[in-house]
Amino acid sequence: MIDVEDLVALVHNYNPRSNADLIRRAYAYGKQMHEGQKRHSGDDYFTHPVAVAAILTEQRLDDATIVTALLHDTIEDTKSTYTEVQRLFGDEVAELVDGVTKLTNLQLSSAESKQAENFRKLFMAMSKDLRVILVKLADRLHNMRTIKSMRAEKQAQKARETMEIFAPLAGRMGMQWMRDELEDLSFRVLNPDARNSIIRRFITLQRETGDVVHKITADIRNELEKARIEADVYGRAKKPYSIWRKMQEKDLAFSSLSDIYGFRVITATETDCYRVLGVIHQRWRAVPGRFKDYISQPKSNGYRSIHTTVSGRDGKRVEVQIRTRQMHEVAEAGVAAHWSYREGERAHNPFAVDPARWIAGITERLDEDDHDDFMENVKLEMYTDQVFCFTPKGDVIQMPRGATPLDYAYAIHTRIGNSCVSAKIDGIRVPLWTRLKNGQSVEIITAEGQRPQASWIDIVTTGRAKAAIRRSLREEDRGRFVKLGQELARAAFDHVGRKATDKALRTAAKMLGLVDETDLLAQLGSAELTARKVIETLYPELATSQAAEVDAQRPVVGLPPTQTYNRARCCQPVPGERIVGITYRGQGVVVHAIDCPALEEFEEQPTRWVDLHWQAGRHAAVHTVSLNLTISNDAGVLGHICTLIGGQKANISDLHFVDRKPDYYRLLVDVDLRDLEHLHAVMTALEAETDVAQISRQRDLSKKP
C-alpha cells in the first residue's frame, strides 16, 4: 500500500500548491474508519481507497477528488456520516463522497426497468458533478484489477456490468485508455480461453516476424527526421479484446486481421500534425476509407486527432494517430482534462470540453423516454462513433456513425423529424435510409400533415429519433385504437341488450384496474383486452348465456322458422352489427347492415322491412367479409399476411389480385369470421404490420342481393 507521504508526493508532482495537510488528514481518517476491515484477498480494506486515489493522480486531478477517493467508502461501509465528513473536510468533499456512495448503491445490472431508473440516477449524479463518476470509474478499475479474489459468479457479474456500462461510459467520456483496460480485464473473466488464444497467437507472430512495433516506430521516426519534424512516436499492439471484437464483427480469423498494431505521433503544433500526415502518406500507401480528421471536426467529448491507416512494413496495415501534446492530454483524460493541474495551476487546455455542456447532451432526454427507450438511448449513445455533417447554412451537426437523414432531422428538432418527407445530400435527393458520411451537407424537406411511419423505427439509429418516433406512433395509435374500441364495445353491449354508456365503461375500467374508460377503449381497440372480458366483468350472469354456441343455420332472430334468408353481398353484415331485413320476391329475406347505403332505395317501401337482430352467444366463423389490402411487393410478404390472418383463427376463403405495381400489390381477401369483434381483431393485426400500407372493409354496391 502507498503510504501517505508517497501519495502527497504524487499529487505534489503535478500540483505543488496542493493542500498536503488536507490529504494527510483524509488519509488518517480513512485508515481509522476502515480499521479492522479486510478485502476478499485478505488485504487491509484501506489499500483499496488508497489505490483509487493513486489512479486519479495519474489524471492529475484536484485535491477534492483525491480526498474523495480516500473517503469514498467511509459513509457506506463505516460508522462515518455525511455530517462528520462535512465538518472535517468541507461541503465540496462531503457532496462528492455522498455522490459516490449513492452510485455504489445502484444495482446497475438488475432487471431492465430498474436498471433504466438506476441509469437515470447515474446520469443525474454525473450532471451535478462529473468528478463523482471519475472516482467511481477509478474504483471500478481497481476492483477489476483485483477481481481474482472474488467468487466466480461474483466475478462474472462484475465483469458483465463493467463491459456493458463502465467501459463504454469511460470511452464516451474520452478516457479510451481506461475503456481498453476495463474491457480487457472483463474479457479475461468472461472469456479467458479466447483471450489466451489471442495472446498465444501474438507470441507466435512476434517469434516469426520479430518486434514489428519497434521496426515500424523506427521507420516513422526516420521519415520525420528527414522532414525535420520534431515529434514523439509510440507504438503498441492492440488489446486482446479489441482484436477479438474485430474478429467477431468481421467474421475473420486472426491470420486475416490487418491493423492489429497502433501508433501515435505527438507533435508540438497543429500545423505539424498535417505535415506528419503528408510524410506518412508519401512514404506508405493510405488505405481508402480509413481516414478521419477529428482535429477539424472534434468529437463531443473534446477528442481531437488525425487517424489514418496505411500499408506499412511487409504490407501490414497499421493505424497511425497524429495529435499535439495538448490534444493528447485530452485524448488520455477525456472530459476529466477539465480538472487537470499542472505546476499548481488548473491546466487551461483549449481542447478540454466543458463538462456541464457535455453532460447536458447526455441527460437532456432523461424525463421524456420510457424505460425501454431510455435504455436503448443510453446504450446507443455510449457505443457510437461520430460523423459530422453540415446544415445548408454551414453549421456542423454531430451524428453517430450509421446515422441517416431521419436521425439528422430529429437531431435538429423533433418537429423537423416528425414532418420529414425527404432529404437531399450535397444537393441530390436521396432515400431516408441513406447512411450519412463525414463532410456531407444535408437538407431536410418537410411537409405539413406528415406523420412518422412505423417503418421509420428500422431506418433510424439514434436513441433520440427512435424515442420520438415511438412516442408519436403511440399517440396516433391510441387515437385510432380508442375509435376501434368504441365500436367493439358498442357491438358487445348490443349483444347482451345493454348500452355502452360512459358510466358503464368507467365502472368496467375501475373493476379491471385500468386508469379510465379511455384506457379501456384503447386496450379494446389494440386487442390487449377483449370485449367479452368487459362483459364478463360487468355482467357475469349474461356472460354465461353468451358462452353458448349459436346455431350456424339460424343465427338471426326475427324470422319465422321456415323463412329463408341471405346476407347482403354489398355490406356483408356480421354478428355484432345492427341489422335489418329486406324481403325479395322469390329470394326470401336479405339481411343488411343498418348503415348500408343500398337501403336508401327501399325508404319508400316500409312493408318490405323486417326488424332483425343477431342471436346472443358465440357464433361460428362462417360469415365471409371482403378486405381490401394494399401490401408491399416484397418476397414473403403475402405469406406473412396469410399467416397473420390464420394467427387470428380466421380462414381465407378466397383471394383476388386487383392491381399489381412494382412496389405494391392491391388485393381482395375473403375471410370467414365469427363476429364484429373477430373482424376488428383481424384488421388491427394487419393494420399494425409495416408491410400493409392500407386496409379497409370492402363494400360494393354493385353486388346486388
Choices 3.40.30.10, 3.30.70.260, 3.60.15.10, 3.30.70.1280: CATH for 623-697: 3.30.70.260
Q: Can you say whether the dihedral through the CA atoms of 162, 163, 166, 171 is positive or negative? A: positive
Give the chain's largest Cα–Cα span.
112
- Partners of 633 in the β-ladder: none
From CA 593, how far away is CA 138, in angstroms rounded? 73
Domain 4-190 class? mainly alpha
pLDDT of 103 > 80? The answer is no
**Residue pointed to by grid coordinates 436521425:** 407
For the chain, what is the radius of gyration of the CA atoms? 35
Tell me whether residue 343 is one of the annotated catalytic residues: no
The grid coordinates of residue 625 equal 367479409
The active-site residue, picked from 43, 44, 58, 77, is 77
Q: At 238, list the grid cell.
A: 492492440
Q: Inform me whether the pLDDT recorded for 409 exceeds 70.
A: yes
Give the Å distances, CA to CA, from 253 to 125, 309, 483.
Answer: 43, 20, 57
Confidence grade of residue 359 (pLDDT, cut at 50, 70, 90): low
pLDDT digits (tens, 9 = 90+) for 416-426: 999 999 999 88
Q: Is 302 exposed, middle or buried (0-12, 13-18, 19+ CB in 10 A)?
A: buried
Of 43, 44, 58, 76, the catalytic one is 76
Find the mean pLDDT for residues 209-236. Answer: 87
Q: Give whole-number Cα distances, 334 to 123, 132, 290, 678, in Å.
A: 17, 15, 23, 59
| 599-626 tens-digit pLDDT | 888 888 888 898 898 887 778 888 999 9
List % helix, strand, coil for the chain (3-state, nearest 5): 50, 15, 30
Query: What pLDDT shows up at residue 542?
Result: 62
The C-alpha cell that represents 377 in the structure block: 438511448
With a cut of 90, say whether residue 700 has pLDDT above it. Answer: no
Residue 588: strand, helix, or coil: strand
Q: Which helix (H) or strand (E) holds 579?
A: strand 579-584
Residue holding cell 348500408?
596
Q: At a CB cut-off of 8 Å and minimum separation 6, what does 599 contact?
A: 580, 582, 592
Instruction: Write out the three cell numbers for 76.
Output: 457506506
Domain 197-346 sits in CATH 3.30.460.10: yes
pLDDT digits (tens, 9 = 90+) for 6-29: 999 998 888 888 899 999 999 999
**Hey, is 389 helix, strand or coil?**
strand
pLDDT mean over 125-154: 85
Active site residue 219: no
Q: Which cell numbers hold the place of 276?
A: 506528419
Domain ranges of the chain: 4-190, 197-346, 471-546, 556-614, 623-697
- The tally of CA atoms less than 13 A away on the side-chain side of residue 510 is 6
Interacting residues of 222 by C-beta distance below 8 A, sequence separation 6+: none
509 to each of 248, 490, 505, 533, how far by Cα in Å?
Answer: 51, 15, 6, 11
CA 147 to CA 151: how far, in whole Å? 9
| pLDDT > 70 in the chain, percent | 83
Tell me the H-state helices in 34-162: 47-57, 63-71, 74-77, 82-89, 91-104, 112-128, 131-145, 152-161
**How far, in Å, CA of 260 to CA of 71, rounded?**
40
Helix (H, G, I), strand (E, B) or coil at 573: coil
Name, in order, each residue with C-beta under 8 angstroms of 61's C-beta and a sequence gap of 6 or more: 131, 134, 336, 339, 340, 341
User: 277-324: per-residue pLDDT in tens?
Assistant: 999 999 988 887 778 888 887 876 678 899 998 886 666 778 899 999
